[in-house]
């Protein structure tokens, strides 16, 4: 648990290929709301849990636009989403009634009509620490923000300034990142550990989150939800690389989950503070708890809904993700029996359960 030194270099390199997670929200069985113009669009920033395929257009190995990813998606299409079907963000916009899927901004084929109802700027492998996206050559969060500014200019050219501003004001914004900063960066590479204690690094990440929230506010965002970290020690890949016996001992690694829990409390306090300061200006800023419901699915009564809670559906379920979860991999027959689809990312069923827990947050965001 102290480090990964006991594992071979290929395993560590493999681990660096992993990215994670936002978590969230509902499948087609959850009734959609009729579109009522209360919400104009959805915009998303973050990592692989909310990247619907932006990395398909980036020079990186962090991709999932091949089977078995998308095996339960429409027409079994692998789109670049790191799961077996819809992402949480697809489920959210479908529930609200905006559209069925939230597309990647970097898709050059998107029409103005598609752009108007929202896109995801997220990039698998990214994080709040500027070093994190450099590890995998993906789109940093500051660059995701720059794409959003570019988006606004494109929209303004097409529909005019007033309509563009109205679209932004009525939109919902979702942020999901941070796991890569800790799992792939801080705890795996020595660079940040030389200069930051764990608590100092938590504060460093939180400062970058605060900066993003402020930047989005300055760009016109008024309804923003930001997720906390998952129980990082329960990710199958983390268990595999830190367990004394990765085959027989598949319990969560408490060290990692405790760091996430501490960070989440800090983030929640900051979000509550920001909401208090800005409510009178029409802001709605929310914290989304993914830690507690995931712990329940893995360790609590919720685990009764799953047959497998500590390994993924793809391959051995211990290490495979991205290009190691590929058309040649063994794939479980029924992903709904698993919390994780690969060694990092949840299944649609897990996302659905997370949505049910956090649906009041979405409902609060879309109310007048």
Contact at 8 Å (CB) between 228 and 260? yes
Contact at 8 Å (CB) between 75 and 160? no
DSSP-derived 3-state class of residue 244: coil
Q: CA-CA distance, 289 to 263, in Å (whole number)?
A: 12
Mention every residue, 6+ apart, whose C-beta is less than 8 A from residue 114. 99, 103
Q: Give just the sign of the alpha carbon dihedral 25, 27, 31, 32.
A: positive
Q: Which residues share a beta bridge with 118?
A: 42
Give CB contacts under 8 A, 24+ apart, made by 355-359.
Answer: 355/24, 355/25, 355/26, 355/30, 355/88, 355/91, 355/92, 355/95, 356/26, 356/30, 357/289, 357/292, 357/293, 358/24, 358/25, 358/288, 358/289, 358/290, 358/293, 359/25, 359/26, 359/95
Q: CA-CA distance, 79 to 358, in Å (whole number)?
A: 26
Helix (H) or strand (E) holding 350: helix 348-366
Contact at 8 Å (CB) between 51 and 57? no
Contact at 8 Å (CB) between 180 and 19? yes
Rounded to the nearest 5°, which phi and psi values hold at 308? Answer: -130, 125
Q: Which residues share a beta bridge with 175?
A: 45, 226
Task: Give catalytic residue positions.
Answer: 48, 342, 345
Contact at 8 Å (CB) between 222 and 365? no
């Amino acid at each position: 648990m102290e480090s990964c030194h006991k594992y071979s270099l290929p395993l560590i390199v493999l681990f660096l290929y992993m990215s994670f997670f936002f978590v969230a929200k509902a499948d087609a069985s959850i009734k959609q709301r009729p579109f009522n113009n209360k919400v104009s669009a959805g915009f998303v920033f973050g990592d692989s849990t909310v990247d619907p395929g932006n990395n398909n257009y980036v020079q990186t190995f962090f991709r999932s636009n091949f089977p078995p990813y998308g095996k339960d998606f429409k027409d079994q299409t692998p789109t670049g989403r790191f799961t077996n079907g819809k992402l949480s963000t697809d489920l959210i916009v479908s529930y609200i009634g905006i559209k069925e899927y939230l597309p990647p901004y970097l898709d050059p084929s998107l029409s103005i009509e598609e752009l108007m109802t929202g896109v995801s700027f997220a990039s698998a492998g990214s994080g709040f620490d500027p070093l994190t996206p450099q590890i995998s050559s993906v789109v940093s969060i500051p660059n995701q923000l720059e794409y959003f500014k570019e988006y606004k200019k494109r929209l303004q050219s097409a529909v005019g300034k007033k309509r563009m501003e109205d679209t932004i004001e009525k939109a919902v914004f979702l942020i999901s990142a941070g796991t890569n900063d800790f799992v792939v960066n801080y705890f795996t590479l020595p660079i940040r550990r030389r200069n930051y204690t764990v608590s100092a690094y938590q504060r460093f990440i939180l400062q970058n989150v605060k900066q993003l929230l402020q930047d989005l506010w300055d760009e016109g965002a008024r309804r923003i939800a930001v997720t906390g970290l998952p129980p990082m020690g329960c990710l199958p890949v983390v268990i595999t690389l830190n367990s004394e016996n990765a085959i027989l001992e598949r319990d969560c690694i408490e060290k990692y989950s405790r760091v996430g829990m501490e960070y989440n409390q800090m983030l929640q306090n900051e979000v509550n503070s920001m909401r208090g300061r800005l409510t009178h200006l029409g802001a709605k800023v929310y914290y989304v708890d993914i830690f507690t419901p995931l712990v329940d699915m893995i360790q609590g009564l919720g685990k009764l809904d799953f047959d497998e809670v500590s390994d993924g559906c793809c391959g051995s379920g211990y290490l495979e993700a991205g290009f190691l979860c590929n058309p040649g991999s063994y794939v479980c027959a029924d992903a709904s029996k698993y919390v994780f689809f690969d060694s990092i990312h949840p299944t649609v069923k897990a996302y659905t359960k997370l949505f049910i827990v956090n649906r009041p947050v979405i409902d609060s965001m879309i109310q007048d």
